Amino acid sequence: MRKNIVAGNWKMNKTLQEGVTLAKDLNEALKGKTLNCDVIIGTPFIHLASVAGVVDKNKIGVAAQNCADKVSGAYTGEVSAAMVASTGATYVILGHSERRAYYHETPEILKEKVRLALDNGLTPIFCVGEVLEERESGNHFEVVKGQIRASLFDLSSEDFAKIVLAYEPVWAIGTGKTATADQAQEMHAFIRKTLVEKYGKEIADNTSILYGGSANASNAKELFSNPDVDGGLIGGASLGVEKFLPIIEAF
């Protein structure tokens, strides 16, 4: 079901104590407020259970930022989708460009992760996006379509309907550069058209497509006012209530 969503991605920030404090503060700040979007916080693995334990789950969903591409066993350092689900988290961010670039996550690996996330009742927030050279050479639409096709288009309609997508142009991540509202809308509309071609209009119209990449309190309203932008995946600006709350309230 298409929803407005504002999801924070804390990345590798905050000690356990700092993370729990931030989650509690956000929970407090949202108390009594009527929101026009779902709020999610994507924390490091070690925070998941504690954060899930202190937030009002009717207001704040908890996401992992990754899960293993294996079910269980001798994979030192990995965390399975079942383990993530057992913490009380209900979402998992998959395919973030930092994981694709620094941890060599291929479309095939991501396909496995998506499968395992769904098998364990987690909602994947699946990230796609082009690097600067791909945009400058005019290949950005094909790149994004290819990422979606390679990791998601084997899913049944029923399973695809559970996915949240996030378009994050890599050139706008952590650089302070944001896609303009028009560039975001153009890509989101293209993604929705790609989904129509594969899964039909009803599923495409019901898919939430978030924008990520240096979204913040000053550009959120304009980005979210686009018809095909259903919210944001927020990096640095999710690390403090004073920066995150105005983005949530931009809806």
Q: Is 176 in the site for ligand 3PY (CB under 6 A)?
A: no
Q: Is 104 a catalytic residue?
A: no
Q: Is 173 in the site for ligand 3PY (CB under 6 A)?
A: yes
With vertex at residue 119, the alpha carbon angle to CA 117 and CA 120, rounded to the nearest 5 degrees, is 65
Scanning 69-77, 105-113, 188-196, 230-238 for contacts with ligand 3PY by CB under 6 A, the matching segment is 230-238
Q: Which of 95, 124, 212, 231 binds ligand 3PY (CB under 6 A)?
A: 212
Q: Is 250 in the site for ligand 3PY (CB under 6 A)?
A: no
C-alpha–C-alpha distance, residues 217 and 245, integer Å: 8
Q: Is 235 in the site for ligand 3PY (CB under 6 A)?
A: yes
Q: Among 96, 98, 105, 188, which one carries the catalytic annotation?
A: 96
CA distances from 72 to 105, 114, 245 (A): 18, 15, 37
CA distances from 67 to 6, 114, 119, 210, 242 (A): 21, 9, 12, 20, 29
How many C-beta neighbours within 10 Å does residue 194 have?
17
Q: Is 168 a catalytic residue?
A: yes
C-alpha–C-alpha distance, residues 220 and 247, integer Å: 6
Residue pair 234/26 in contact (Cβ under 8 Å)? The answer is no
How near is the Cβ of 101 to ligand 3PY at its closest, in Å?
A: 11
Q: Is 168 in the site for ligand 3PY (CB under 6 A)?
A: yes
3-state secondary structure 229-247: CCEEEECHHHCCHHHHHHH
How near is the Cβ of 157 to ligand 3PY at its closest, in Å?
A: 27
Site string for ligand 3PY, 64-103 (x = CB under 6 A): --------------------------------x-------
Q: Is 124 in the site for ligand 3PY (CB under 6 A)?
A: no
CA distances from 1 to 30, 51, 158, 207, 246 (A): 23, 25, 12, 6, 24
Scanning 108-116, 143-151, 167-175, 189-197 for contacts with ligand 3PY by CB under 6 A, the matching segment is 167-175
Which sequence positions are flagged as catalytic? Answer: 96, 168
Where along the sequence are the contacts to ligand 3PY (CB under 6 A)? 9, 96, 168, 173-174, 212-215, 233-235
